[in-house]
Amino acid sequence: MTHTSRRPLTSGKAQVVDYTLALRKKPRIGERAIQAFLFLCGAVSILITVGIAFELGKESWLFFRDPQVNLLEFLTSTTWQPAIGNFGVLPLITATLMTTFFAMLIALPLGLGAAIYLSEYASPRARAVLKPVLEILAGIPTVVYGYFALTFMTPLLRGIFGSETVQIYNTLSAGLVMGIMILPMVSSMSEDALSAVPRSLREAAYGLGATRLETALKIITPAALSGIIAAFIVAVSRAVGETMIVAVAAGSGPNFTFNPFQSAETMTGYIARISGGDAAYDTPDYNSIFAIGLLLFLITLGLNILSRWLVARYREVYE
Amino acid sequence: MSSESNHNYAIEMSSVDFYYGNFRAVKDVSLQVIPRKITAIIGPSGCGKSTVIRTFNRMNDMIPGTRVTGEILFHGKNIYAPDIDPVEIRRMIGMVFQKPNPFPKSIYENIAWGARVNGYRGNMDELVWESLKQAALWDEVKDDLKKSALALSGGQQQRLCIARALAVRPEIILMDEPCSALDPIATLKIEDLMRELSENYTIIIVTHNMQQAARASDYTAFFTMDTDRAGMLVEYGETSQIFTRPRDQRTEDYITGRFG
Amino acid sequence: MSTEPIQNAAWSDPRLSITRRHRVGRWWQGFFFASTLFAILALAALLFSVADKTMGLVVIENKVAPSALSSRPLEGLSKEELISILEANLSRNRYRTINREETVDRRSRDEIYDLVIGEVVRPKVLMSYPLSQSLLRRAELEAEKAERWPEASLEFYTWLKPHFITSPMSASPELAGIRTALLGSLALIAISILFAFPIGIGAAIYLEEYADRKSWLNRIVQLNIDNLAGVPSIVYGILGLAIFVRALGNLTSGAAIGYAGDNGRTILSAGLTIGLLVLPLLIINAREAIRTVPNSLRQASYGLGATQWQTIWYHVLPAALPGILTGTILAVSRAIGETAPLIVVGAATYITSDPTGPFSKFTALPIQIYNWTTQPQEAYRNIAAAAIIVLLIALLSLNSIAILLRNRFSQRA
């Protein structure tokens, strides 16, 4: 860019300048190109979702179109034996439900309890020690938790309940360890919700002579309820989608049972097993993983949307 | 609006309205800024002073939903015309902000950067020296130009921002309450600086401090908020006249402190 | 109107209920504290159960005792001496095969040593005991060993040793190492970050600096990214399988450029899949970092007549960089531990050769851990534990760097 439009710094005659030219809008192609590229980057995220929906949908469609497969049977039958044409998804769902149930049994009350402790009771020094511990727990890869379930939790359960009752692979062990894994997440999200409650509310309660427990349980927690429930729902969604712990410790092979001491295969465990195995492409056996995957995607998506809606709808307005 | 008369003014507003969405914040402003003089914009809070000054260099474009009607003429061109480049406008019409905002870089880099992105290929050391001298900051920082700009005092930072603006060789310098974050001594230094700079540059300053306007400016424009909450220009003239023989009652009420 | 205090008759004696209320309060406080304690204990139990298996007493039996091969310890022998042992003890065919893969002269001394151990000595762990038991119940274990395996010897053995990291996989757990897996993990991370970082930062810049906040399109994109962050990782695996392995199989297997690949189950596919997985996290983190840059900085830049991209490149990005880096490191920590998508995309269960390029078959550290954990022999649990320790150390280092970065730069601001 030339300098015809510059004025001299010290006073002197201003040079004659063509302002029409100087002020005219420059094409700035570089700027526009960069902006277009950045827009594409932003659009990639949409492409991912479209891709997930499309691929899952397409392959599931192929699965359901196969004459051996019947949608009604898929959703209601309790046997899954592709070899003889039985494609009932319920065994996988009950296994998922069981592991999720046991996980929530640990993660929800203990996670909320830890959150209340950290937010209402703990001294700053205690928090400085405890919060990193929870963060470490949250950062451990799930396959390590699977190892823990198989080598620690299962022998522990067998020791308590007896080796005859508790099989080597069982949903209880996987569920409990999953709960340990999810606990830090519940704790951290709940703690955020609790901390967001303004100090003035606490002071009002204490000023009336309430004990710390009464304030925490009857004033603060209800005020933070929408955030806490959102945390719970996200925890459930996480448990449903978890793969490695169940793949290692819960068992392989669908099994329709409500006995937590027996082995059973969850939806995620099933997908991992079949895709890691030798089934040929384009058999109903193989395509079933897409159908299960679609189910999984819809469930977790629904849960996440529900949690977000709850937060938006019931968010307390404090001031 | 003939082209000859426009070249007598540094910049000129002609029946300008400014909208934030559907809300008209400033209405029907017509103002002719005399070149190489200091023009002060005063008025009570909320009357649109900052909005007005930011329309001169199209800084309000950054806020979505804003709209300008009317014309702002700079060398005969309406700067809001669709074929005008706002980026170039901002180089020619510089701005100093209320709170000093130097870049988190060295003193040297602060001044050099603006010139560099605008294509300056000459002797940078010389440009930095000139700008700092013009901003009356050279003697205080000449020993270490590599020092971080954030290590300077508030008043020094503001003078650095002025030097930075000068380095891209503008014609007009807009100042949006430049002294409100500074102590009185730093404020006086800036006012002296303004007086020096006005020999070569047109200065437009928004200030909520009436005494400053009376002391430091040549022309004063008094704005107020009308009943529809839109800012409007009440009176504009030489500072001595505005402060001794205001023509409008509202002006007199304001400068005598009856309101505002 | 009376301003006297309200009559107390209707209220029970406050002193009694206060005691009870405090007691109830203390009980609940105990519960809350116990919940937190539970988390700490769980972590301790986990680390303990892993560390416990990384070393301990083992009942080990060598096919050929080292003492029978040489009077001096094998570790001290020179390369020539080891080669002569190899020649003397292997069948002619076997020696020829080994020589054909790579001549013994070209191999390093360590490699020959490994061969001697692997082919001649052939140690086999019959039973391994956890560290805790090895220390506490030594006498019992010795008795048990004497009863069940009188021929073998009981020694203290560490599964986690330098040899473990530098050796490739092997069919026997005593010799297996994680080198292939480590290289695979590194390659995966590199590809995923190379892919996700520019796109993620680009998307964050666009959404924060260019896009109109209020527009419905922008809100959908925002919602979409938040949703994607919550999708189970195995679904990303399925996506990667469908798109990278199958639909784009020609490209990812290298066939398109003449490479002799036979399917799309390559490092490239896996890396891209992991890249997709961490993309939403990167975007969210980068947006946060960009958002914290004060607006006054942008205004100063625009005021000087800079364009939007100049402002972003010279001012916004440098200011946001520490936050972006921290976010990237967190994304990498997440990526290192992911297993499920890799299984779906087709991690190989047994490879001995190091990955040679983006079109190689691959394995990764968490996959190895998974494979070994699910094997029936006890010794595999030991090496799984050793691999877990390596993984945890890597993660700890990464997170420490992230925390250091965060602290250092938040002080400067």
Q: How far is CA C148 from CA C69, C127, C152, in A?
A: 26, 10, 9
Q: How far apart are CA A111 and CA A294, in angstroms?
A: 30
Q: Which of A1, A6, A20 sits opposite B169 (nearest CB)?
A: A6
Helix/strand/coil percentages in chain C, nearest 5: 70, 5, 25
Interface of C with B (CB under 8 A): 212-214, 296-307, 310, 314-315, 319
Query: What are the phi and psi torsion angles at C241 (to 5°)?
Result: -60, -50
- The strands making up C123-128's β-sheet, listed across from edge to edge, are C123-128, C55-62, C153-158
Which residue in B has a C-alpha nearest to residue C212's C-alpha? B64
Please give the residue of chain C at the shortest CA–CA distance from A267. C234
List pLDDT tens digits, range A69-106: 778 888 888 888 777 777 888 889 999 999 999 999 99
What subunits make at least 3 CB pairs under 8 angstroms with A?
A: B, C
The pLDDT score that the predictor gives to residue A150 is 93
- Please tell me which residue of chain B has the smallest CA distance to A12: B200
Interface chains of chain C (3 or more CB pairs under 8 Å)? A, B
Mean pLDDT score, A189-199: 88
**Shortest Cα–Cα distance, C300 to chain B (Å):** 6
What pLDDT does C14 receive?
A: 61
B99: three-class secondary structure by DSSP: coil
CB contact B178 to C (< 8 Å): no
Query: What is residue C11's predicted lDDT score, i.e. its pLDDT?
Result: 60
d(CA C2, CA C4): 6
pLDDT value, residue C160: 81
B235's enclosing H/E stretch is strand B231-238
pLDDT at A116: 92
- Which residue on chain C is closest to B158 by alpha carbon? C300
Name chain C contacts of B94, Cβ cutoff 8 Å: 303-304
Which of C215, C293, C296, C304 would best serve as a mutation to test chain B binding (most B beta carbons within 10 A)? C304
B residues 98..157 contacting C (CB < 8 A): 99, 101-104, 113-114, 117-118
Chain A hits for B119, Cβ within 8 Å: 1, 3
Q: Say yes or no for a CB contact (<8 Å) between C304 and B165.
A: yes
Please answer whether residues C82 and C109 qualify as being in contact, where contact means their C-beta atoms are separated by less than 8 angstroms: yes
3-state secondary structure chain A: CCCCCCCCCCCCCCCCCCHHHHHECCCCHHHHHHHHHHHHHHHHHHHHHHHHHHHHHHHHHHHHHCCCCCHHHHHHCCCEEHHHCEECCHHHHHHHHHHHHHHHHHHHHHHHHHHHHHHHHCCHHHHHHHHHHHHHHHHCCHHHHHHHHHHHHHHHHHHHHCCCCCCCCCHHHHHHHHHHHHHHHHHHHHHHHHHCCCHHHHHHHHHCCCCHHHHHHHHHHHHCHHHHHHHHHHHHHHHHHCCHHHHHHCCCCCCCCCCCCCCCCCHHHHHHHHHHCCCCCCCHHHHHHHHHHHHHHHHHHHHHHHHHHHHHHHCCCCC
A114 closest CB neighbour out of C24, C35, C233? C35
Closest CA of chain B from C211, distance in Å: 10
Distance from CA of B142 to the nearest CA of C (A): 23
Distance from CA of B252 to the nearest CA of A (A): 38
* pLDDT in 10s for each residue of chain B, 260 residues: 444 444 588 999 999 999 999 999 999 999 999 999 999 999 998 888 999 999 999 998 888 889 999 999 998 889 999 988 888 899 999 999 999 999 989 999 999 998 988 888 889 999 999 999 999 999 999 999 999 999 999 999 999 999 999 999 999 999 999 999 899 999 999 999 999 999 999 999 999 888 899 999 999 999 999 988 999 999 999 999 999 999 999 999 898 887 65
Write the burial class of residue B26 (CB in 10 Å: 0-12 exposed, 13-18 middle, 19+ buried): buried
Q: Best residue in B78, B88, B172 to probe A by mutation, most A CBs within 10 Å?
A: B88
d(C-alpha C345, C-alpha C353), whole Å: 19
C 287-316: CB under 8 A from A: 307-309
pLDDT at position A319 is 41
- Interface residue A142 vs chain C (CB under 8 A): yes
Minimum distance, in Å, between the CA of residue B131 and any CA atom of chain A: 9
Q: Which of B104, B110, B105, B102 is nearest to B127 (CA)?
A: B110
Q: Does residue A6 register a pLDDT over 50?
A: no
Closest CA to C258 of C355, C345, C359: C359
pLDDT of residue B259: 64
Cβ-defined contact of C306 to B117 (cutoff 8 Å): yes
Closest CA to B117 of B58, B164, B159, B153: B164
Of A42, A147, A240, the CB nearest to C221: A42
Restricting to C residues 227-266, those with a Cβ less than 8 Å away from any Cβ of A are 227-228, 230-235, 237-239, 241-243, 246
pLDDT tens, C60-99? 888 877 777 777 777 777 878 888 887 788 888 888 887 8
Cβ contacts (< 8 Å) between B62 and chain C: which residues? 298-299, 302
So what's the ipTM on this one?
0.87
Nearest to C302 among B59, B88, B168 (CB): B59
- Which pLDDT score, from 0 to 100, does residue C252 have? 73
Contact (CB<8Å) B92/C296: no
Distance from CA of B244 to the nearest CA of C (A): 35
Evaluate whether C222 touches C288 at the Cβ level (below 8 Å). no
Which of A45, A117, A186 to probe the C interface (max C CBs under 10 A)? A45
Other Cβ atoms less than 10 A from the Cβ of A281: the count is: 8
Distance, in Å, from the CA atom of B247 to the CA atom of A184, rounded to the nearest integer, reads 71
Q: Using CB atoms, pick whichever of B64, B91, B104 lies closest to residue C305.
A: B91
Q: Which two tokens stand for residue B166?
A: 């000068």
Q: Would you say residue A246 has pLDDT above 60?
A: yes
Best interface-test mutation with A: which of B56, B91, B168, B200 has the largest number of A CBs within 10 A? B200
**What's the mean per-residue pLDDT of chain A?**
85
Taking CB atoms and an 8 Å cutoff, what residues of chain B touch A28? 87
- List chain B residues with CB under 8 Å of A3: 119-120
Test the A interface: residue of B77, B93, B134, B198 with most A CBs within 10 Å? B77
- Say whether A243 and C233 touch across the interface (CB within 8 A): yes
Cα B9 from Cα B30, distance rounded (Å): 13
Q: How far is C142 from chain A (nearest CA, A)?
A: 23
Query: Exposed, middle or buried: residue C66 (CB in 10 Å: 0-12, 13-18, 19+)?
Result: middle
Give the number of B-C residue pairs with CB atoms closer than 8 Å: 64
Q: What is the pLDDT of residues C247-293, one digit of tens each?
A: 887 777 776 666 666 677 888 889 999 999 999 999 999 999 999 99
- Per-position DSSP letters for C133-178, written without gaps between them: HHHHSHHHHHHHHHHH-TTSEEEEEES-SHHHHHS---SSTTT--S
List B residues 191-220 in contact with A (Cβ-Cβ < 8 A): 199-200
**pLDDT at res. A78:** 81
pLDDT of residue C10: 56
Give every CB contact of residue A139 below 8 A, 6+ residues apart in sequence.
C333, C337, C395, C399
Chains that touch B (3 or more CB pairs under 8 A): A, C
Residue ranges of chain C with per-residue pLDDT less than 70: 1-16, 255-262, 410-413
Q: Are C221 and A45 inside 8 Å of each other by CB?
A: yes
Instruction: With a cut of 90, say whether residue A8 has pLDDT above it.
Output: no
Identify the residue among A48, A100, A116, A308 best suited for mutation to test binding to C, counting C beta carbons within 10 A and taking the highest: A48
Q: pLDDT category, A279, cuts 50, 70, 90?
A: low
**CB-CB neighbors (< 8 A) of A150 in chain C:** 373
Distance (Å, rounded) from C-alpha A288 to C-alpha A277? 13
Residue A313 has pLDDT above 80, yes or no: no
Rounded CA-CA distance C266/C358 in Å is: 7
Pairwise CB contact (< 8 Å): C304 & B168: yes
CB pair distance less than 8 Å for B113 and C212: no
User: What tokens appear for C87 in the block?
Assistant: 């020649």
pTM: 0.84
Whether pLDDT at A250 is above 80: yes
